[in-house]
Structure 1
Amino acid sequence: MSKGVLLVNLGSPKSTDPKDVKKYLGEFLMDERVIDVPYAARALLVKGIILNTRPKQSAKAYSKIWWEEGSPLIVLTERLQKKVQAHTELPVEIAMRYGTPSIKEGLQKLHDQGVDDVMLLPLYPQFAMATTETILVLAEELRATHFPTMKITDVPAFYRKDDYIKVLSESIGEHLKELDYEHLLFSYHGVPERHIRKSDVTKLHCKIDGSCCSAASKAHEFCYRHQCYETTRKVGQYLNLEPGTFSTSFQSRLGFDPWLQPYTDRTIERMGKEGFKKMAIVTPAFVSDCLETLEEIAMEGEEIFHEAGGKEFTTIPCLNDRDDWAAVIAGWIAAWEEAKVEVV
């Protein structure tokens, strides 16, 4: 079989034009694994309310972070792809779950190069319904419908892999060496609490009570909350961070249902009000900087901190297209190419 690789990221609007943003948001928010309510209720919420109010606001936010080359997330993923490609003779393509290039387009490009055995890597360190799962489900649907002879091997959540933790920790450490900071906040993208319970394969373990994530369980294989806290713990351990100098929070909630807490915006505000003057923040749920890191955290987060009395607010970049990160991915590809599937 001829092998190839597909790197899959979240996606982005085609431009900052409200029409393009509306199209993107429609595709994103109508995903049943993003807003997991019955279709009628989802359509009413998304098409009846959100898409009539949010596109202009989101377009303004995107315009603040848009690069001359285009969407930062797309550009950074393309740069990463080129660096990974330099390490391997296997064809490496990229795709986005929403927007373009689509997963179907990515698989088609590989198919056109004679590939019938694909290593699919969702660029999310932690598993979640609204990220990893929706990619895997769509990829399988596309394979069955359009590429029935193609084999797809997906790379599971890599949040605890030593080589990933090493490159993430060293990336963070390089910035911390240059900072005089009082607290490091690990901010992960939020999800509704019900997503955690739905992903619990045991149907009993996940109570989100402050202790279940630290108690051994099969549920952890698909528990986003556990995997976020474990990422923080492992990085803290690798960097020898002092207890109390770092913590975990969750950003970007939508609607009125309970989402994972503590909330990032309220945590930043609280720290400012409690007298913290210098803080740093890192976003390990993302490997590529995007709207949620460049605007929501780096801009809105800093404004919240300053208004609450804080002085210095530093956002540490995602891994993006770091050479060592590209080399880690290339190592996973090499292991898979040699049929050592368990390595990835």
Structure 2
Amino acid sequence: MKKGVLLVNLGSPDSTSVKDVKKYLDEFLMDERVIDVPYLLRAFLVKGIILNTRPKKSAAAYKKIWWEDGSPLIVLSKRLQEKVQQQVSVPVELAMRYGKPSIESGLQELYNKGIKEVMLLPLYPQFAMATTETILVLAEKIRMEKFPDMEFTILPAFYNQPDYIRDLSNSIKNSLENFKEDYILFSYHGVPERHIKKSDVTKSHCKIDGSCCNTPSKAHEFCYRHQCYETTKQVAKFLGLKEDKYSTSFQSRLGRDPWLQPYTDATIDELAQKGIKNLAVVTPAFVSDCLETLEEIGMEAAHSFKENGGENFLAIPCLNDNEDWVKTLSRWIDQWALQQ
């Protein structure tokens, strides 16, 4: 059976116009795994409130980071796909969970090439309902409706894979060559606390109490919080970081329900107020730079850090199309492609 790969990332508006941003946010926020409340309440919150206020603000944020050739996330993802394609023996297509190119179009491209066995490769190191799970659920729905003779192989979350940890650690080390940091903050995308408990396959392990993430459990296979802390732990070990020189936080919360803490914005302000003058922030929940890394961290957080007494701020780039990362992805793909 002929094999192929579909790389899947988050997605982006088609442009920075309020109309396109509104369309994108509608698709994103109406996803039941992003805002996981009953449909009518979700529709009221999204269409009745959020989409009447947020698109204009988000469009302004996208304008700050938009590149000449388009959305940074899309451009960087395409560069990654093109470089991987040059190194592997099977066709590789790119898709976005929201916006274009769609998962359906990516699968169609592979199908048109005679591909019947597809590796779905969500470009998220850690598993979460609102990232990996929603990709897998939609892809399976499309497969059943449009490509019933196609088979999927899923690349598991790679948050603790030695090759990934090495590549991430080395990219951080290279970024810090000309920066004398006092502290490194590992900032991950935030999710509501209820998502962690919903993803707990044991239905009893996750307490979000500071200890459950360090207690071995099969729940960790799908626990975003555990996987984030484990990524931080392993990178810190690889780089030889002292315990008082780094920590983990979570960004981009929405609404009033409790989200994973500590919050990145509050943590950055506190670090500055405590006398940290040189702060480096790395965002390991993303492999491609996007609005959350370039604007929320690289601009807003940097500004806030300096307003609170900090002096030098470094937003460490994501892996993007880093050559070592390209080689690692390519090796994973070829290892799968060569299996009988």
Quote the residue 1:97 is aligned against. 97
Alpha-carbon distance in 2 for matches of 1:88, 1:201: 35
AA matched with 2:226: H
| 4+ runs deviating over 6 angstroms | none
1:238-249 matches, cutoff 5 A: 238-249=238-249
Alpha-carbon distance in 2 for matches of 1:195, 1:178: 39
Deviation at 1:339, TM superposition (A): 1.8
Quote the residue 1:60 is aligned against. 60
Deviation at 1:178, TM superposition (A): 1.9
TM-score (normalised: structure 2): 0.99
The answer to whether the Cα contact below 8 Å between 2:30 and 2:42 also exists between their aligned partners in 1 is yes
Deviation at 1:92, TM superposition (A): 0.5
Quote the residue 1:227 is aligned against. 227
Alpha-carbon distance in 2 for matches of 1:200, 1:176: 37
Does 2:193 align with 1:193? yes
Does 2:298 align with 1:303? no
Deviation at 1:89, TM superposition (A): 2.5
AA matched with 2:135: I
Deviation at 1:222, TM superposition (A): 0.3
- Cα deviation, 1:290-330, whole Å, max 9, x if unaligned, reads 00000000000011101111000100000000111111010
The answer to whether the Cα contact below 8 Å between 2:89 and 2:334 also exists between their aligned partners in 1 is no
Deviation at 1:88, TM superposition (A): 1.2
Alpha-carbon distance in 2 for matches of 1:188, 1:30: 22
- Cα deviation, 1:29-79, whole Å, max 9, x if unaligned, reads 000000000000000000000001110100000000000000000000000
Does 2:282 align with 1:282? yes
- Cα deviation, 1:141-172, whole Å, max 9, x if unaligned, reads 00000000000111010001000001000000
Quote the residue 1:73 is aligned against. 73
Quote the residue 2:179 is aligned against. 179
Deviation at 1:87, TM superposition (A): 0.5
- Cα deviation, 1:90-143, whole Å, max 9, x if unaligned, reads 110000000000000000000001101001100000000000000000000000
The answer to whether the Cα contact below 8 Å between 2:250 and 2:260 also exists between their aligned partners in 1 is yes
AA matched with 1:303: H
Alpha-carbon distance in 2 for matches of 1:217, 1:91: 37
Quote the residue 2:36 is aligned against. 36
Alpha-carbon distance in 2 for matches of 1:287, 1:175: 15
- Identity between Structure 1 and Structure 2 (%): 67
Alpha-carbon distance in 2 for matches of 1:21, 1:145: 28
Quote the residue 1:26 is aligned against. 26
SS for the counterpart of 2:244 is: coil
Q: Which runs of 5+ in 2 are unaligned?
A: none
Deviation at 1:177, TM superposition (A): 2.5
Cα RMSD, aligned residues only? 0.7
TM-score (normalised: structure 1): 0.98
Quote the residue 2:146 is aligned against. 146
Quote the residue 1:127 is aligned against. 127
Quote the residue 1:49 is aligned against. 49
SS for the counterpart of 2:250 is: strand
Aligned residues: 340
The answer to whether the Cα contact below 8 Å between 2:181 and 2:278 also exists between their aligned partners in 1 is yes
